[in-house]
Amino acid sequence: MTKISDVLKRRASEQSRIRVQLNSVRAEEEALIKGGEDTVAWVKEELCIGCDQCTIVCEDDAIELYDTPLASPIMKVDVNRKARILRDPCTGCKICVLACPTDAIIMIDR
Ligand code: SF4
Ligand code: SF4
pLDDT tens digits, residue range 39-86?
Answer: 999 999 999 999 999 999 999 999 999 998 887 778 777 778 999 999
Domain count for the chain, please give it: 1
Q: How many CA atoms lie within 13 A of 67 on its CB side?
A: 4
For residue 17, the 8-state DSSP code is: H
For residue 18, the model assigns a pLDDT of: 83
The amino acid present at 13, given as its one-letter code, is S
Say yes or no: CB of residue 22 within 6 Å of ligand 2: no
The pTM of this model reads: 0.75
Choosing from 18, 38, 63 the residue with most ligand 1 atoms within 8 A of its CB, the one to mutate for a pocket test is: 63
Look up the domain containing 75 and give its range: 4-109
Q: What pLDDT, on the 0 to 100 scale, is given for residue 44?
A: 96
Write the CATH number for 9: 3.30.70.20
- The pLDDT assigned to 41 comes to 97
With a 6 Å cutoff on the Cβ, whether 104 touches ligand 1 is: no
